[in-house]
Structure 1
Amino acid sequence: MSTENASAHPATPRETVPAPRPPADAAPATAAVTAVQTEAPAAAAATPAKQDRPRREHRYDIDLLRIICAFCIILGHVGGECMLAVDKSEQNGKAVYWTGLFLDSVTSWAVPLYFAIAGWAVLVGAPPRDGRTLRKRSLRMIVPVGIWSAVYLAWGWVRDTNGHPTPKLALDAVFGTVQPAYHLWYFYAHVPLILILGFVMLLKAGRRPWGVVAALVVLGAGPTATGDLASVTGWDVPHFGWGAGTYSMVYAVVGALLLSLPPTPRGHRRWWVLGAVVSLALILWSQHTIHFVIPNASIFVGALAACVLMSLNGLRIPERIRPRLTLVMDAGLGAFMVHVLLLKTISPSFMDGGRGWLGSAVAAAALTVATAVPSFAVSMLWGKLKLRRYLG
């Protein structure tokens, strides 16, 4: 999403002098010239006012955050593959277990920060102008999710790894249960989130986006309606998963607040890094002792996300690397979409519960590179082919 947003200022009132009326027998060209000369001072006066409007500086630090989030989600899923290799049990391979636990924990802030960035974009960076803007932003997510859901289901059908009949999984995907593309659950929360926040912004601006209202009514009534339908008919009605949870809304609102703060002073960044280290230790303890995978709503995850955000907030990005940063950032969404397909295909060749500490680290690093590099590369490729709106 674009982050440019100019605020308009009313033009300074000024006296106007009536223009001399052209003679009645003047040619149309003469009258037109007189009109242009009359309008020229007004246009010239409007030009400085337009130039004086402050333009919001592009947030390259947020572009960097988006790239890091995309990479960290891939790294976290590599950690998940490590945990699956030992059946989430330390007894089945201590080194692989702790490698997976660490990778999942150190990247647990990525999804919450995605919600935070989404909240900043809607509330601060680029508030929607009308209902059409919100519809375009929603379709920018919904269309790629639909296409990639079909791709993942077809790939699972070919490899016989879907686990359930493919038509049933396809129907479930429409309602919000995504298998085998489990990572796409994020968009079933992201779209309702931007619709709710965007509706509030439009309402504040005096708009009446009835189409957005209708969509929100469907999202709000969907879970109850499908549950009632299952009770009355006895049908196996899919679970309705389109909805923004309270925690995602909190991340979005608090994230918008934090990202709108002035840049973090350089001398303060080390304190936020220290806070991140403490939060990570608590997450490791929680994942090992209480529950794996730790919920996004955990206070420890929230603390880690806030520390990472504040340590990078307002970070100055050198101009020489900004074009490359933008290129990689544009590919981040596509890399997120495709990486699980690649990861699930190649991970059995890398993960083995019997590996030692060095072997586990090397295997995890190799799997990360083998997943992340091709994912970003193919995303850049279809970006050049103008397929971004379809594939993310």
Structure 2
Amino acid sequence: MSLENVSPSPAVTETAVPELRPLPGESASDESASGKASPGNTSPGDTRPGKAGSGARQGHRYDIDLLRVVCACSVVVGHVGGACMEAVDRSADNGRAVYWTGLFLDSVTSWAVPMYFAIAGWAVLVGAPPRSGRTLRRRSLRMLVPVGIWSAVYLAWGRLRDTNEGPTSKLALEAVFGTVQPAYHLWYFYAHVPLILILGLVMLLKAGQRPWGVVAALVVISAGPTAVSDLTRLTGWDVPRFGWQPGSYALVYAVVGALLLSLPATPRRHRGWWAAGAVAALAAVLWSQDRIHFVIPNASVFVAALSVCVLFAVNGVRIPERIRPLLGKLTDAGLGAFMFHVLVLNAVAPWFVSAGRGGLGAAGAAAALAVVTLVPSFALSMLWGRLRLRRYLG
């Protein structure tokens, strides 16, 4: 995952996510979380709130729920890899075993953020097209409110531990404009919200509506970078960078993802070929991260190839009935776990990651760190979901 992705380094640039089952990728909340039925993978008779079809689609996509959960876990594992890379200052000379452990974990999870964008595109364009501008505002707020709360939590935690890289008031202002320090992983939502507004506006215009509020928001988003730059030049003020931008690559992932996720289920006999393609793409990502640039950009053709192979390998996979309830709970908890996990990771990583570890020691420590981060993150997210705090904490 890139500095556009998600990296444990505070200097991050570039998540599904989410509504009915919130994750950095976009869920289908109010209208529907349903999509094109895949054989054996849907529940046409599901009448739970938010599961009714949006008109053209029938049946809940449990395979997309699976992708959301795996994406959430992959982001955490990728951050564990990033912690390993930071421990050796991103150089194999400072500890080859830890370096290659970190590089592998970051590379093998590099498809997660692009997949979140793909799921976001599918949700807006196919699975649950918005019915009105009000729907888009509600979906945006379900991202913005938790992002605001967690940004404040991370800033307060950093101030308490004296780890903030600047005055807390300055960092808080920068967070409003779109610079995410010290909550570096929240960059995703600064891209996700504009993305769903753009795609949602297209769907509403197609339906004959005129959502002027959405148009106004997009005007502010599109004009923001230039306006901030001009204000800095005219006044000399230190105005924060305006980061509420989806990026062209995110838009492409969303649109292409909507197309690919709406295709019929991948035949079982072909899944092995797509898995083999994913292995080949992973090798290319590893080579690129080691020889060209760490962290690899999400827009890299190697990351795109890996993401497409993973998508086709999982698309339409049948989820057994007995594990669907558990899958649903994990999917619901994904957004909260995504937002919270960096608190745990930053606190406990020094206990596990050490540049001097050997091969087995580095792998074992990384695995232990991933478990110690994942389990409490999902558990606490499930807890505040039961307490009906999902709208505030994700």
| Residues 307-326 of structure 1: pairs in structure 2 closer than 5 A | 307-326=309-328
Q: In the alignment, residue 111 of structure 1 is paired with which amino acid?
A: V
Task: Specify the SS of the correspondent of 2:295.
Answer: coil
Distance 1:4 1:358, change over 3 A: closer
Which position in structure 2 is the counterpart of 1:159? 161
Please report how far the alpha carbon of residue 163 of structure 1 lies from its aligned counterpart in structure 2 after TM superposition: 1.4
Q: In the alignment, residue 313 of structure 2 is paired with which amino acid?
A: S
Which position in structure 2 is the counterpart of 1:298? 300
Cα distance in 2 for partners of 1:254, 1:377 equals: 33
1:203 matched to 2:205: yes
After TM superposition, which residue ranges in structure 1, 4 or more long, deviate above 3 angstroms? 2-7
Contact 1:4 1:55 survives alignment (8 Å): no
Please report how far the alpha carbon of residue 4 of structure 1 lies from its aligned counterpart in structure 2 after TM superposition: 4.6
Please report how far the alpha carbon of residue 65 of structure 1 lies from its aligned counterpart in structure 2 after TM superposition: 0.2
1:188 matched to 2:190: yes
Structure 1: gaps spanning 5 or more residues = 8-52
Superposed CA offset, 1:73-130 (max 9, x none) = 0000000000000000000000000000000000000000000000000000000000
Contact 1:5 1:55 survives alignment (8 Å): yes
Alignment: residue pair count: 348
Cα distance in 1 for partners of 2:119, 2:160 equals: 37
Tell me which protein shows more helix as a share of its residues: 1
Please report how far the alpha carbon of residue 319 of structure 1 lies from its aligned counterpart in structure 2 after TM superposition: 1.0
Which position in structure 2 is the counterpart of 1:71? 73
Cα distance in 2 for partners of 1:181, 1:144 equals: 12
Task: Specify the SS of the correspondent of 2:85.
Answer: helix
Task: Specify the SS of the correspondent of 2:182.
Answer: coil
Cα distance in 1 for partners of 2:199, 2:256 equals: 13
Cα distance in 1 for partners of 2:285, 2:56 equals: 42
Superposed CA offset, 1:152-178 (max 9, x none) = 000000000001111000000000001
Task: Specify the SS of the correspondent of 2:242.
Answer: coil
Cα distance in 1 for partners of 2:208, 2:56 equals: 23
Cα distance in 1 for partners of 2:164, 2:35 equals: 49
Contact 1:4 1:56 survives alignment (8 Å): no
1:136 matched to 2:138: yes
Which position in structure 1 is the counterpart of 2:367? 365
Q: In the alignment, residue 297 of structure 1 is paired with which amino acid?
A: A
Which position in structure 1 is the counterpart of 2:329? 327
Distance 1:55 1:192, change over 3 A: closer
| Residues 51-200 of structure 1: pairs in structure 2 closer than 5 A | 56-200=58-202
| Residues 258-273 of structure 1: pairs in structure 2 closer than 5 A | 258-273=260-275
Which position in structure 2 is the counterpart of 1:223? 225
Contact 2:111 2:307 survives alignment (8 Å): yes
Which position in structure 2 is the counterpart of 1:254? 256
Please report how far the alpha carbon of residue 5 of structure 1 lies from its aligned counterpart in structure 2 after TM superposition: 6.0
Please report how far the alpha carbon of residue 317 of structure 1 lies from its aligned counterpart in structure 2 after TM superposition: 0.6
Cα distance in 2 for partners of 1:84, 1:312 equals: 32
Distance 1:4 1:177, change over 3 A: closer
| Residues 7-18 of structure 1: pairs in structure 2 closer than 5 A | none
Cα distance in 2 for partners of 1:54, 1:149 equals: 38
Give the TM-score of the pair, scaled to structure 1.
Answer: 0.87
| Superposed CA RMSD | 1.4
Task: Specify the SS of the correspondent of 1:156.
Answer: helix
Contact 2:35 2:262 survives alignment (8 Å): no
Cα distance in 2 for partners of 1:134, 1:4 equals: 15
Cα distance in 1 for partners of 2:301, 2:341 equals: 28
Cα distance in 2 for partners of 1:377, 1:354 equals: 32
Cα distance in 1 for partners of 2:80, 2:33 equals: 35
Task: Specify the SS of the correspondent of 1:341.
Answer: helix
Please report how far the alpha carbon of residue 56 of structure 1 lies from its aligned counterpart in structure 2 after TM superposition: 1.0
Give the TM-score of the pair, scaled to structure 2.
Answer: 0.87
Q: Which moved more, 1:95-104 or 1:320-329?
A: 320-329
Contact 2:384 2:390 survives alignment (8 Å): yes
Cα distance in 1 for partners of 2:313, 2:143 equals: 29
Please report how far the alpha carbon of residue 264 of structure 1 lies from its aligned counterpart in structure 2 after TM superposition: 0.1
Cα distance in 1 for partners of 2:107, 2:169 equals: 35
Contact 1:70 1:336 survives alignment (8 Å): yes
Q: In the alignment, residue 126 of structure 2 is paired with which amino acid?
A: V
Distance 1:182 1:105, change over 3 A: same
2:355 aligned to which of 337, 350, 353? 353
Cα distance in 2 for partners of 1:89, 1:173 equals: 31
Structure 2: gaps spanning 5 or more residues = 1-26, 37-54
Contact 1:175 1:242 survives alignment (8 Å): yes
Superposed CA offset, 1:264-303 (max 9, x none) = 0000001100110000000000000000000000000000
Please report how far the alpha carbon of residue 321 of structure 1 lies from its aligned counterpart in structure 2 after TM superposition: 1.0
Task: Specify the SS of the correspondent of 1:124.
Answer: helix
